[in-house]
Amino acid sequence: MDERQNMMGSYPINKLLLKFSIPAIIGMLVMALYNIEDGIFIGRGVGALALGGVIIYCFKKL
């Protein structure tokens, strides 16, 4: 924890932004690809009504 606190106080902001935002961006891209693949799988395998049901279920959880 000391190393991270020292880094936050001494590194330039642009380097910190890159260091902390790149893992978040990669995670969001992976989740987006998973959602696209899941939609293709359900849409082709089960059908359009099932895909609509999954979308409604996901928005209902929000």
pLDDT at position 6 over 80? no
Which residues, 6 or more positions from 39, have their beta carbon under 8 angstroms from its beta carbon?
51, 54
Domain boundaries, the chain: 2-61
Contact (Cβ atoms closer than 8 angstroms) between residue 50 and residue 42: yes
pLDDT at 26: 95
pLDDT tens digits for 10-48? Answer: 888 888 888 889 999 999 999 889 888 888 888 888 888
At residue 59, the pLDDT reads 78
Query: What is the structure's pLDDT at 62?
Result: 61
Q: Contact 16/8 with Cβ under 8 angstroms?
A: yes
